[in-house]
């Protein structure tokens, strides 16, 4: 907004705001900031407190019994070990890709970047099905090898831990690419050039100059990948098999199959403590990534590859992206169209046309179209709730990032805002199955049991999972905005609401769209908590896919592939739209 001479004369010297404009907290602002904090207190903290009370209902005996059982220690050790291996593999494959995307310009870069982000918003159940469609016993690769070489059994027996690790790399690759590559792209390449002038080799400059500067971003990405792998559920259940039990799987088994809520609550408490520490570490490392450096625009730091070695590196990265990320998704769609061997034409729509058929005549049959409608309804409601809660939360955190640097309570205020930021990140690092268990326990008390069948239950739970993505999309844009434009609108007579609608909303609209699409796709694919809380007559798409996978027969497997393809196309379309709307400075 342009200011006329009268408006300029009213503003204080230096273009800042008078103390009365935008600084003094009003009752409306306090209530607005209380909305997200109250939402977390009721729908996140209260279920966790319910788990805590159940864990210690009989004293510490239940906890000591769980800690004294060797089996649960083995589960914890395996959970930690597979998450650590997944993190190391993701970093090993993702860091070269982050370097290529940060330092080189090449044809198809934008498309590959968008394709790399699609798996991250894919439901874990779809990721598992996609790898099964490519590498499973009935996968495309095994079928092709059996047909070519006349083999009676599938030659590739990829399952268990190897399949889980591969799926985790597929799922988390974009975390390293975006967090590390995004920061790397803004580093001034003249730092390495100066080291070369002083006699450092390329390898020495990388180890002594670049990597120390990248350490906070690499650490933040590693912690985030570890958290996602530590709380993985759908991938473990479908690809890992019954022999692989993580804390997440064991919590579900104790709750849904053995009905041991006390044991499940104790395990959930242990998992929540681990993820809380990891979330706090991630928040600190993410804040340290904002070190005071002369960051350069990405257009000035990237260049076309010139040497043969550089072209080879770019080509290898494109090949890895295509094989690792593109092949499972393509195999999923292709496998859903293939007819069973000896069933006539090579391609068929039988799996899709059978989705609405009740072949067994079951009275509990739910058409997949109902599951699609349920998923879309829940995702739409989740998006609205996540924006309603996330916008004031992002303003609160952005205000904390702009807090004054001097004053007697500066450190206390900064600490409070830091803990508030960590609090809003906690749902991202908390197991969805743990949250679902918390809701089951919290709603078991008299007077609240009726809420377990409420249509609002799943949208509220999904909002907790989607909220950190909305906040992370909005906070960088809010911190970068120019407050004088809104102040000038207030000076010219605009009400606070009118100034926000006409001045600020157009500026943050791309970030809002990014957060909305993330909330929609995350809700669409949420699986762990939904499996615990969904009613049998109102399943979502991931739950319906899981049901088809649990039934024998080629047609049931084909229907699971067909529904997975539909869900993949919906989430991929949303993420490609997100890539076009992605604001500069966002973390994802």
Same domain assignment for residues 412 and 325:
no
Q: For residue 175, which of 109, 234, 97, 105 has the smallest C-alpha distance? A: 97
Same domain assignment for residues 504 and 370:
yes
Q: For residue 534, which of 453, 430, 469 has the smallest C-alpha distance? A: 453
**Residue that has been written with the tokens 């080799």 in this structure:** 201
Same domain assignment for residues 411 and 288:
no
In a domain, 229, yes or no: yes
Q: Does residue 547 contact residue 451 with C-beta atoms inside 8 Å?
A: no
Q: Does residue 413 contact residue 403 with C-beta atoms inside 8 Å?
A: yes
What DSSP line would sit under 289-324, residue for residue? TS-------HHHH-B---SHHHHHHHHHHHHHHIII
What DSSP line would sit under 515-551, residue for residue? HHHHHHHHHHH--HHHHHH--TTS--HHHHHHHHHTS
Same domain assignment for residues 322 and 207:
yes
Domain of 131, in residue numbers: 75-333
Which residues on neighbouring strands pair with residue 300, listed in sequence order? none
Chain mean position to CA 108: 25
Give me the CATH number covering residue 30.
1.10.3720.10
CA angle centred on 282, ends 276 and 284, rounded to 5°: 105
Same domain assignment for residues 289 and 438:
no
Determine how many CB atoms are found less than 10 A away from the CB of residue 200.
Answer: 16
**Which pLDDT score, from 0 to 100, does residue 114 have?**
74
The residue out of 299, 333, 367 marking a domain boundary is: 333
Same domain assignment for residues 430 and 401:
yes
Same domain assignment for residues 363 and 285:
no
**Which pLDDT score, from 0 to 100, does residue 93 have?**
92
d(CA 166, CA 177): 17
Q: Does residue 224 contact residue 409 with C-beta atoms inside 8 Å?
A: no
pTM of the predicted structure, to 2 decimals: 0.73
Determine how many CB atoms are found less than 10 A away from the CB of residue 483.
Answer: 15
Sequence-distant (≥ 6) Cβ neighbours of residue 481 within 8 angstroms = 504, 507, 508
**Which pLDDT score, from 0 to 100, does residue 388 have?**
92
Same domain assignment for residues 289 and 394:
no
Q: Does residue 515 contact residue 388 with C-beta atoms inside 8 Å?
A: no
Give me the sign of the Cα torsion angle 494, 500, 501, 502. positive
Same domain assignment for residues 255 and 355:
no
The residue out of 304, 333, 362 marking a domain boundary is: 333
Same domain assignment for residues 247 and 306:
yes
In a domain, 20, yes or no: no
d(CA 414, CA 574): 36
In a domain, 16, yes or no: no
Same domain assignment for residues 416 and 473:
yes
- State the angle between helix axes of 554-581 and 541-549 in degrees (0 to 180), rounded to the nearest 10: 150
In a domain, 6, yes or no: no
In a domain, 15, yes or no: no
Return per-residue pLDDT of the chain as tens, 588 residues: 344 443 333 333 344 333 333 434 466 667 777 888 888 888 888 888 887 787 677 666 666 766 777 888 888 899 999 999 999 999 999 999 888 888 888 887 877 877 787 787 777 778 888 888 888 777 788 888 888 877 778 887 776 788 889 889 988 888 888 778 877 776 766 666 666 666 666 666 666 677 777 777 788 788 888 988 888 887 888 787 767 788 888 888 887 777 777 777 788 778 878 877 777 776 666 565 555 444 444 555 677 888 888 889 888 888 888 888 888 888 888 888 887 665 666 778 888 888 777 666 666 677 877 888 888 899 999 999 999 999 888 888 877 655 455 555 555 555 566 667 767 777 876 777 778 878 887 877 666 666 767 788 889 889 988 888 888 778 777 776 666 666 676 666 667 667 777 777 777 777 788 788 878 888 888 887 788 788 777 888 888 888 888 777 777 888 888 888 888 888 777 767 766 665 554 445
In a domain, 65, yes or no: no
Three-class SS state of 303: strand
Task: Decide: residue 296, CB within 10 A, 0-12 exposed, 13-18 middle, 19+ buried.
Answer: middle
In a domain, 66, yes or no: no
d(CA 442, CA 463): 18
- State the angle between helix axes of 109-121 and 70-103 in degrees (0 to 180), rounded to the nearest 10: 160
Q: Does residue 331 contact residue 134 with C-beta atoms inside 8 Å?
A: yes
d(CA 542, CA 525): 6
Secondary structure element (H or E) that encloses residue 554, with its range: helix 554-581
**Which pLDDT score, from 0 to 100, does residue 384 have?**
93
Total domains in the chain come to 2
**Residue that has been written with the tokens 């010139």 in this structure:** 306
Determine how many CB atoms are found less than 10 A away from the CB of residue 429.
Answer: 27
In a domain, 345, yes or no: no
d(CA 262, CA 250): 13
The residue out of 333, 365, 391 marking a domain boundary is: 333
Determine how many CB atoms are found less than 10 A away from the CB of residue 252.
Answer: 25
Same domain assignment for residues 51 and 92:
no
Buried b (16+ CB within 10 A) or exposed e, 390-402: bbbbbbbbbbbee
């Amino acid at each position: 907004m342009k200011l006329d001479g009268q408006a300029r004369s009213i503003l204080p010297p230096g273009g800042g705001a008078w103390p009365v404009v935008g600084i003094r907290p009003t009752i409306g602002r306090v209530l607005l900031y209380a909305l997200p904090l109250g939402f977390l207190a009721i729908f996140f903290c209260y279920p966790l407190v319910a788990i805590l009370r159940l864990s210690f209902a009989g004293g510490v005996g239940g906890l000591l019994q769980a800690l004294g059982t060797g089996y649960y220690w083995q589960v914890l050790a395996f959970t930690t070990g597979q998450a650590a291996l997944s993190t190391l593999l993701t970093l090993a494959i993702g860091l070269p890709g982050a370097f290529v995307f940060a330092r080189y310009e090449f044809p198809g870069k934008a498309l590959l970047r968008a394709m790399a982000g699609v798996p991250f918003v894919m439901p874990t159940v779809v990721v598992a099905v996609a790898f099964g469609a490519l590498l499973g016993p009935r996968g495309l690769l095994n079928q092709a090898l059996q047909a070519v070489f006349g083999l009676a059994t599938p030659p590739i027996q990829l399952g268990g831990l190897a399949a889980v690790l591969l799926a985790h790399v597929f799922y988390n690759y974009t975390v390293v690419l975006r967090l590390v590559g995004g920061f790397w792209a803004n580093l001034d390449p003249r730092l390495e050039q100066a080291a070369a002038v002083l006699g450092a080799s390329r390898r020495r400059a990388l180890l002594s100059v670049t990597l120390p500067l990248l350490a906070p971003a690499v650490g933040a990405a590693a912690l985030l990948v570890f958290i996602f792998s530590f709380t993985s559920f759908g991938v473990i259940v479908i690809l890992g098999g019954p022999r692989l039990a993580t804390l997440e799987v064991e919590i579900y088994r104790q709750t849904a199959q053995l009905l041991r809520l006390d044991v499940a609550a104790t395990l959930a408490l242990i998992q929540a403590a681990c993820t809380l520490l990891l979330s706090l570490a991630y928040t600190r490392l993410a804040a340290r990534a904002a070190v005071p450096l002369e960051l350069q625009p990405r257009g000035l730091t990237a260049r076309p590859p010139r040497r043969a070695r550089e072209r080879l590196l770019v080509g290898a990265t494109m090949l890895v992206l295509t094989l690792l990320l593109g092949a499972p998704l393509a195999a999923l769609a292709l496998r859903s169209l293939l007819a069973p061997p000896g069933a006539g034409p090579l391609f068929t729509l039988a799996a899709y046309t059978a989705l609405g058929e009740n072949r067994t005549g079951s009275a509990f049959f739910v058409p997949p179209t109902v599951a699609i409608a349920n998923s879309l309804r829940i995702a739409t409601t989740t998006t609205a709730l996540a924006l309603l809660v996330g916008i004031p939360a992002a303003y609160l955190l952005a205000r904390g990032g702009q807090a004054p640097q001097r004053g007697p309570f500066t450190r206390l205020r900064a600490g409070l805002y830091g803990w508030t930021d960590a609090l809003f990140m906690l749902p991202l690092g908390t197991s969805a199955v743990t949250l679902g268990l918390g809701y089951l326990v919290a709603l078991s008390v008299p007077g609240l049991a009726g809420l377990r069948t409420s249509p609002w239950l799943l949208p509220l739970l999904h909002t907790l999972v989607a909220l950190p993505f909305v906040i992370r999309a909005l906070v960088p844009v809010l911190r970068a905005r120019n407050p004088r434009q809104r102040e000038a609108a207030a000076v010219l007579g605009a009400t606070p609401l009118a100034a926000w609608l006409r001045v600020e909303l157009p500026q943050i609209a791309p970030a809002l769209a990014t957060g909305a699409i993330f909330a929609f796709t995350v809700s669409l694919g949420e699986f762990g908590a939904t499996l615990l809380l969904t009613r049998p007559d109102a399943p979502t798409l991931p739950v319906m896919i899981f049901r088809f996978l649990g039934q024998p027969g080629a047609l049931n497997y084909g229907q699971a592939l067909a529904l997975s393809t539909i869900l993949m196309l919906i989430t991929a379309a949303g993420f490609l739209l997100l890539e076009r709307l992605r604001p500069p400075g966002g973390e994802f």
